[in-house]
């Protein structure tokens, strides 16, 4: 997705970063990246609630967001 929808130096944001895979892939492809998570797993993930991302309007080139899979038992 990053190769198709972004170009080098674009800013990618993952508001619910989890383990940081998005950060790793974006950096490998030469994208700038910011990862947020309510419970950061690593030091390069910023602790933050995804409902309150502290970024200016129109400052991000791509937001990487995936819906969690919910299962009912």
In a domain, 59, yes or no: no
Backbone angles phi, psi at 8, to 5 degrees: -50, 140
Q: Please give the model's pTM, rounded to 2 decimal places.
A: 0.84
The confidence score (pLDDT) of residue 71 equals 66
Given this model, what pLDDT does residue 15 score?
94
Q: According to the model, what pLDDT value does residue 41 have?
A: 87
Give the residues across from 31 on adjacent strands.
Answer: none
Residue 60 belongs to a domain: no
Tens of pLDDT along 13-71? 999 999 999 999 999 999 999 999 999 989 999 999 988 989 998 999 999 887 666 66
Report yes or no on 71 lying in a domain. Answer: no
**Residue 32 lies inside a defined structural domain of this protein:** yes
Find the domain containing 21 and state its range: 2-50
Band of pLDDT at residue 3, cut at 50, 70 and 90: very high
Q: Is 63 inside a domain boundary?
A: no
CB neighbourhood size of 6 (10 A): 20
Establish if 16 belongs to a structural domain.
yes
Identify the sign of the CA torsion 48, 49, 55, 56: negative
- Across the chain, the runs of DSSP E, i.e. the strands, are 11-14, 32-37, 45-47, 62-63
Residue 29 located in a structural domain:
yes
Structural domains in the chain (count): 1
């Amino acid at each position: 997705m990053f190769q198709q929808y972004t170009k080098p130096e674009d800013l990618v944001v993952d508001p619910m970063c989890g383990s940081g895979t998005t950060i790793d892939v974006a950096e490998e492809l030469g994208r700038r990246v910011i990862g947020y998570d309510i419970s950061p797993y690593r030091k390069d993930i910023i602790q933050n609630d995804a409902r309150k991302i502290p970024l200016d309007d129109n400052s991000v080139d791509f937001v990487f967001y995936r819906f969690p899979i919910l299962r009912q038992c």
